[in-house]
C-alpha cells in the first residue's frame, strides 16, 4: 500500500504540492493478450490501491504460485516502475489526518450535512484554528459543493436559524433542495432547514389522508405543508419568521400548489385560534372520500366489490396512521355519520418547534369552548396534535413528555390516544421526540382559557412597530404581512 504523505502538521493554509509522493514498485511487463490471465493468476499479489491500476509491489514477497507463473510464461519481464500520486488521490479524512496536530486527529472533522450546494459543519473548539483549511479540504473532495460554512452558536430562539461563518467557497446562502417530491428554495443563513429530518417529515405526511385538513403551526419554509398540500390536504401553515413566510409563498408557487395552502406570518398562539376561525368562516367541508375500487368482471378478484389493499392494480388512499380511539359501535365510523357533522375543523395540528413547542399547547385550552353541541363525538371530531420536543430522560421519556404536556394544557391526556415517537438523537443526553395525541374534550371545552404570552415580540421591538431584531434583514424589507390573501 502507498503510505500516506508526510506533511508538516499544524498548517493553517493548504499547500497541495506537499501531497505529491512517488514510490518505486516492481512491475511485470506483459503482452496485452495476457492481461486477464495474469490478473487471475496473480490474485492478492497485485497492488490494490484506489484510483490506481493494479501492479505487483515486489516479487520477493509474492506467493509461490505467482513466482511459478512468471517463470513458466514466455513474454513476461520484470521491470522497475515509478508510481506518482498527488493531492487528488487522498480522501478528506486522510488529508486532514496528515496535516492536523497529532493530538486532535483521532476524530478528524470530515463529516457535514448538505443543503443544496452548501456543506454545513459544526466544528469543535479545538479545530477552530484550522477551520479555513478544513473547509477547503471538504470543498475540494466534494465537487458538488460550492460553499462550506460552520455553525457559530446555538439556534436563534425566535426565528430558528444559526449564525454561520464562511469557511471556503462562495458566500452564497440561497440554496435549492428536493424532498418528498417537492422543491424548496431557502436562504440558509436566515431560515431553519435540517436535511436530517426528512424521514420525520415523510412519516407525518403519510399519516394524513388526502381529505384531511392540516394546521402547521411552526411551518418553517414548508417541509410538512408543501407535501401535505400536494397530497390533497387543506393546509393552513404559519411561521413567525418573516423570511420563512416569504419563502413559503415562493415555494408554494414553485410547487404549483393552488388554493389548498393558506400561509400566515403570526405568533403561534395567535395562529392556532385564527386558523380555526378562518377555516370555519371559509365554509370548509371535507371533500368526499374516494369510492372503494371496483374490480370489473374478468379482472383479478372475480366479481367482488372491492379488492384488498395489496392488489398491485389498485391505487388507494393511505390509511390514517395516527393513534385513534376505537369507535363505540360499528356505525360510528360510517362515512354517512361523519358527513352529518355540521362543524368541521382541522384533523391534525403539527407543532415542529422542539425547543419550545410544548409551551404553546396552552393555546388549545378552551379552543372549542361552547361548541359542545357542534362536536357531539369529540373522540372522533377533535384534532390530533403532533408536538415535537426534546427529552433528557433516557429511562422514562414517555412519562416525562406526557407530564410536561399535561402541565401546560391544564388537563389529562387520554391514555389510549397517546403515542411517543423517537425522532433522533440531538446530543449524548438529549433526544428529539414527537408526541401525538387526540385533543382531550376536557381541555378543548374548558371554560378557563390560558393566556400565556411567553413568545410575544420584545417590548422594544413592538414599540418601534417591528417584530424583527435590528440586526435581522428580511429578504424583502417591506411591511410584515399577517397572512396571504385567502381569496
Going by the annotation, the residues of the binding site for S-adenosyl-L-methionine are 201, 239-240, 267-268, 352
C-alpha span between 201 and 241 (Å, rounded): 20
Q: Which residues are annotated as a binding site?
A: 201, 239-240, 267-268, 352
| Contact present, 170 and 205 (Cβ < 8 Å) | no
C-alpha span between 380 and 435 (Å, rounded): 19
First-to-final CA distance of the chain: 69
Other CB atoms within 10 Å distance of the CB of residue 25: 16
C-alpha span between 487 and 484 (Å, rounded): 9
C-alpha span between 27 and 201 (Å, rounded): 55
Q: What size, in residues, is the chain?
A: 487
Q: Which 3 state secondary structure label does DSSP give 389?
A: strand
Q: Which residue has the cell 511485470?
A: 28
CA distances from residue 356 to 157, 286, 431 in whole angstroms, order as listed: 9, 31, 14
DSSP 320: P
C-alpha span between 30 and 55 (Å, rounded): 12
Amino acid at each position: 500500500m502507498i503510505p500516506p504523505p508526510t506533511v508538516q502538521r499544524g498548517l493553517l493554509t493548504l499547500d497541495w504540492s506537499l501531497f505529491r509522493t512517488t514510490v518505486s514498485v516492481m512491475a511485470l511487463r506483459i503482452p496485452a493478450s495476457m492481461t486477464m490471465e495474469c490478473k487471475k493468476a496473480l490474485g492478492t499479489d497485485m497492488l490494490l490501491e484506489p484510483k490506481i491500476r493494479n501492479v505487483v509491489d515486489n516479487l520477493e514477497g509474492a506467493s509461490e504460485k505467482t513466482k511459478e507463473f512468471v517463470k513458466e510464461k514466455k513474454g513476461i519481464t520484470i521491470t522497475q516502475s515509478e508510481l506518482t500520486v498527488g493531492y487528488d488521490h487522498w480522501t478528506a479524512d486522510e488529508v486532514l489526518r496528515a496535516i492536523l496536530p497529532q493530538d486532535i486527529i483521532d476524530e478528524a472533522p470530515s463529516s457535514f450535512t448538505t443543503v443544496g450546494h452548501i456543506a454545513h459543519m459544526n466544528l469543535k473548539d479545538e479545530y477552530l484554528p484550522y477551520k479555513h483549511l478544513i473547509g477547503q479540504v471538504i470543498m475540494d473532495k466534494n465537487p458538488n459543493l460550492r460553499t462550506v460554512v460552520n455553525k457559530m452558536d446555538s439556534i436563534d430562539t425566535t426565528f430558528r436559524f444559526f449564525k454561520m461563518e464562511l469557511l471556503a467557497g462562495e458566500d452564497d446562502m440561497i440554496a435549492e433542495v428536493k424532498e418528498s417530491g417537492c422543491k424548496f428554495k431557502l436562504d440558509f443563513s436566515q431560515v431553519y432547514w435540517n436535511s436530517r429530518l426528512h424521514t420525520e417529515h415523510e412519516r407525518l405526511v403519510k399519516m394524513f389522508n388526502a381529505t384531511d385538513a392540516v394546521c402547521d403551526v411552526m411551518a418553517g419554509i414548508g417541509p410538512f405543508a408543501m407535501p401535505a398540500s400536494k397530497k390533497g390536504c387543506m393546509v393552513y401553515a404559519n411561521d413567525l419568521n418573516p423570511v420563512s413566510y416569504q419563502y413559503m409563498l415562493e415555494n408554494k408557487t414553485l410547487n404549483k400548489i393552488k388554493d389548498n395552502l393558506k400561509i400566515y406570518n403570526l405568533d403561534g398562539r395567535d395562529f392556532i385560534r385564527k386558523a380555526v376561525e378562518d377555516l370555519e368562516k371559509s365554509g370548509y367541508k371535507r371533500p368526499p372520500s374516494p369510492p372503494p375500487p371496483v374490480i370489473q368482471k374478468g379482472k383479478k378478484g372475480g366479481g367482488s366489490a372491492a379488492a384488498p389493499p395489496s392488489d398491485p392494480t389498485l391505487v388507494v388512499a393511505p390509511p390514517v396512521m395516527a393513534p385513534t380511539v376505537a369507535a363505540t359501535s360499528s356505525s360510528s365510523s360510517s362515512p354517512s355519520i361523519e358527513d352529518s357533522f355540521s362543524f368541521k375543523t382541522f384533523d391534525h395540528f403539527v407543532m415542529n418547534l422542539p425547543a419550545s413547542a410544548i409551551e404553546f399547547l396552552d393555546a388549545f385550552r378552551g379552543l372549542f369552548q361552547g361548541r359542545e353541541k357542534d362536536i357531539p363525538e369529540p373522540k372522533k371530531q377533535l384534532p390530533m396534535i403532533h408536538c415535537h420536543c426534546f427529552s433528557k430522560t433516557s429511562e422514562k421519556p414517555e412519562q416525562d413528555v406526557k407530564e410536561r404536556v399535561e402541565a401546560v394544557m391544564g388537563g389529562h391526556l387520554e391514555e389510549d390516544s397517546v403515542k411517543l415517537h423517537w425522532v433522533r438523537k440531538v446530543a449524548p443526553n438529549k433526544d428529539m421526540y414527537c408526541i401525538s395525541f387526540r385533543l382531550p374534550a376536557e381541555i378543548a371545552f374548558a371554560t378557563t382559557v390560558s393566556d400565556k404570552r411567553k413568545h410575544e415580540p420584545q417590548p422594544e421591538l413592538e414599540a418601534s412597530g417591528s417584530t424583527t431584531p435590528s440586526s435581522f434583514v428580511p429578504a424583502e424589507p417591506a411591511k410584515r404581512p399577517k397572512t396571504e390573501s385567502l381569496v
